[in-house]
C-alpha cells in the first residue's frame, strides 16, 4: 500500500516495476493486426484474439536477427516481456522471439504450395485469358445458401436483362469442399450452352475457412478451364492460391460480379446518340456521291485520253498511207516521164496514147484504193469510239444503281423509319426502354418518342392478363 498522495510519475514508476518484474518472461498467442514499420526500423503492431488486444513492438536490432518476421493477419507465438511506456501510461509487449502457431503452419504450407505451383507455370501471366467485355452467360460457383451468392445477384440485377446466370452449387468450406469446387467448375464446362465467364466466390473467413481454395485440385481445375475464371474469395486482404491461378482476381464477390459485366448505364453511355447516327449516315452518303463524281470524272478523262490516242493513231496511219501513195505516184510519174521521153524519141504516137490511157486507169485505181482504205480506217475508229462510250455509260449506270441500293438500305436501317410507320418508343422516367407490360405500373409516367417529336404520358391502368 502507498502511504499518502503520490505523483503520477511515482505511481507510474511503481506500476512499471511491478509489471516488468511480474511479466519478464511470457509467451502470447495471437493474430497480427495494424502492422507498421517505422522509419527508424522498429516494427509496431497489435496482437489480438476474439476478446482483447495487446500493443507490441520489435526493436530494429532484434528484428534484424529474426529469421521469421510477423505478417498482417497471421497468427504467431510471441515471446518477450511486458513494459510500461510512462509518457502515455500504456503497456506493451517487447517481443524477443516469433514462432509459428497453428495458423502459422498453414502459412508455411501456403508458401510451399505457392512456390510449387508457380514452378509449374500455373501462375504465369501469359497463360491467363482475358475476360469477355460483354458476356451473355455467366456461370457461378459457390454455395447456394452463401451470402456471397446474394451479393453477386444484387450486382448482376443491375446488368442487362438478357444476361443469363447459371449456378453450379457446391460447399465452399470443409474437408470435401475442394473436390466439390473442382466438380462444379467442370459441370459448367460440360454444359451445351457454356458460360462466357465463370465466377468462383465465397465470403470472408479465417485462413482455415478458406483453405479449400489453396488445394491443388481446385487450382488445377482453374488452370485447365477453357472458360475465363474470375475469383472473388473473402475480403480484399484475403489471398488464396486460386486467386493466383484465376484469369482475373477480384477483391470481393460483389467486385467479381462488377468486373464480369458492365452495368446498364455504362453500356448506354457506349451507344452512339441518334444525332450521331444521322450525321454518320449523312457522311457516308456524301462520301458515296463524291466517290461517284470522282469515278465519273476519271472515266470521262480516260475516255477522252483513249479517244485522243485513237485520233492521233488514225492521223498517223492516214499520213503514212498518203505519204506512201504519194511516193508511189511520184515514182510512177517518174517512170512515166521516162517512157514518154523514150516514146517521144521513137515517136510512136499510137503507143503513147495507149500508155497514157493505161496510166490514167492505174491512177484512178490507185485513188480508189486510197479512198477505200481511208474509209475503212474511219469506220474502225468510229466503232472503237462507240464501244468506249457505251462501256462508260454502262459502268456509270451500274455505280449509280449500287449507290441507290446502298441509300435504300441506309434508310431502312434508320430508326426513325420504323417510328414513321406508326410505332412508338416508350421509356420510363429513367429513360429505360419499356419492352414488356410487366415493367408498367398504374400512375407511372412514360416518355414517348415519335418519328417527328416527343411526348409525355401517364399509365392509367395495367389490366391483369393483358396480352
Residue 386: pLDDT band with limits 50, 70, 90: confident
Cα–Cα distances (Å) from 181 to 191, 212, 297, in that order, read 16, 9, 70
Q: Give me the percent of the chain exceeding a pLDDT of 90.
A: 31
**Cα(156)–Cα(165) distance, integer angstroms:** 9
Give this prediction's pTM. Answer: 0.42
Q: Which of 47-51, 138-142, 337-341, 416-420 reaches the highest mean pLDDT?
A: 138-142
Fold of 8-100: OB fold (Dihydrolipoamide Acetyltransferase, E2P) (2.40.50)
* Residue 372 pLDDT exceeds 50: yes
pLDDT of 36-94, one tens digit each? 999 888 999 999 988 899 999 999 999 888 767 888 888 888 999 999 888 888 899 99
pLDDT of 209-248, one tens digit each? 888 999 999 999 999 999 999 999 988 878 899 999 999 9
More confident residue, 369 or 352: 369
Res 467: pLDDT: 45
**Phi, psi of 195, deg, nearest 5:** -65, 155
* Residue 103 pLDDT exceeds 60: no
Q: Which of 91-95, 358-362, 411-415 reaches the highest mean pLDDT?
A: 91-95
* CATH code, 108-269: 3.40.50.261
Span 161-181, mean pLDDT? 91
Res 466: pLDDT: 47
Res 326: pLDDT: 83
Span 93-121, mean pLDDT? 83
Q: What is the DSSP letter of 379?
A: H
Residue 98: pLDDT band with limits 50, 70, 90: confident
More confident residue, 331 or 268: 331
Res 353: pLDDT: 77
Res 188: pLDDT: 95
Closest listed residue to residue 210, CA positions, set 177, 185, 187, 183: 177
Q: Write out the three cell numbers for 335.
A: 517512170
Percent helix / strand / coil, the chain, rounded to 5: 50, 20, 30
Q: Which of 17-31, 174-188, 321-335 reaches the highest mean pLDDT?
A: 174-188
Asked if 13 and 5 count as a contact pair (C-beta separation under 8 A), the reply is: no
pLDDT of 3-22, one tens digit each? 668 888 888 888 888 888 88
Res 272: pLDDT: 58
Amino acid at each position: 500500500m502507498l502511504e499518502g498522495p503520490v505523483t503520477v510519475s511515482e505511481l507510474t514508476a511503481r506500476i512499471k516495476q511491478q509489471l516488468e518484474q511480474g511479466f519478464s518472461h511470457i509467451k502470447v498467442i495471437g493474430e497480427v493486426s495494424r502492422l507498421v514499420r517505422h522509419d527508424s526500423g522498429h516494427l509496431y503492431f497489435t496482437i489480438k484474439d476474439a476478446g482483447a488486444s495487446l500493443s507490441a513492438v520489435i526493436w530494429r536490432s532484434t528484428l534484424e536477427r529474426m529469421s521469421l518476421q510477423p505478417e498482417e493477419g497471421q497468427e504467431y507465438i510471441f515471446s518477450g516481456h511486458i513494459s510500461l511506456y510512462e509518457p502515455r501510461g500504456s503497456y506493451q509487449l517487447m517481443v524477443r522471439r516469433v514462432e509459428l502457431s497453428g495458423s502459422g503452419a498453414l502459412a508455411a504450407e501456403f508458401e510451399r504450395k505457392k512456390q510449387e505451383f508457380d514452378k509449374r507455370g500455373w501462375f504465369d501471366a501469359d497463360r491467363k485469358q482475358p475476360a469477355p467485355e460483354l458476356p451473355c452467360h455467366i456461370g457461378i460457383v459457390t454455395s447456394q445458401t452463401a451470402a456471397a451468392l446474394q451479393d453477386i445477384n444484387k450486382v448482376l440485377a443491375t446488368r442487362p436483362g438478357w444476361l443469363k446466370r447459371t449456378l453450379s452449387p457446391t460447399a465452399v468450406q470443409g474437408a470435401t469442399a475442394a473436390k466439390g469446387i473442382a466438380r462444379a467448375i467442370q459441370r459448367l464446362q460440360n454444359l451445351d450452352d457454356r458460360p462466357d465467364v465463370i465466377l468462383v466466390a465465397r465470403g470472408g473467413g479465417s485462413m482455415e475457412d478458406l483453405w479449400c481454395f489453396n488445394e491443388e485440385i481446385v487450382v488445377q481445375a482453374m488452370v485447365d478451364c477453357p472458360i475465363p475464371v474470375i475469383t472473388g474469395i473473402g475480403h480484399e486482404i484475403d489471398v488464396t492460391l486460386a486467386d493466383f491461378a484465376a484469369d482475373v482476381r477480384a477483391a470481393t464477390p460483389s467486385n467479381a460480379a462488377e468486373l464480369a459485366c458492365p452495368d446498364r448505364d455504362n453500356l448506354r453511355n457506349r451507344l452512339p446518340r441518334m444525332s450521331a447516327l444521322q450525321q454518320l449516315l449523312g457522311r457516308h452518303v456524301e462520301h458515296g456521291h463524291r466517290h461517284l463524281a470522282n469515278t465519273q470524272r476519271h472515266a470521262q478523262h480516260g475516255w477522252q485520253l483513249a479517244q485522243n490516242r485513237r485520233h492521233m493513231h488514225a492521223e498517223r496511219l492516214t499520213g503514212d498511207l498518203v505519204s506512201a501513195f504519194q511516193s508511189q505516184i511520184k515514182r510512177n510519174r517518174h517512170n512515166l516521164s521516162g517512157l514518154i521521153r523514150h516514146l517521144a524519141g521513137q515517136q510512136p504516137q499510137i503507143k503513147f496514147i495507149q500508155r497514157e490511157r493505161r496510166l490514167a486507169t492505174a491512177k484512178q485505181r490507185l485513188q480508189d484504193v486510197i479512198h477505200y482504205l481511208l474509209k475503212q480506217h474511219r469506220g474502225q475508229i468510229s466503232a472503237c469510239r462507240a464501244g468506249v462510250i457505251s462501256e462508260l455509260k454502262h459502268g456509270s449506270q451500274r455505280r449509280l444503281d449500287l449507290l441507290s441500293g446502298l441509300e435504300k438500305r441506309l434508310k431502312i436501317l434508320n430508326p426513325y423509319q420504323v417510328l414513321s410507320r406508326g410505332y412508338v418508343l416508350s421509356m420510363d422516367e429513367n429513360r429505360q426502354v419499356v419492352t414488356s407490360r410487366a415493367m408498367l405500373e398504374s400512375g407511372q409516367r412514360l416518355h414517348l418518342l415519335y418519328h417527328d417529336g416527343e411526348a409525355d404520358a401517364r399509365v392509367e391502368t395495367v389490366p391483369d392478363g393483358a396480352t
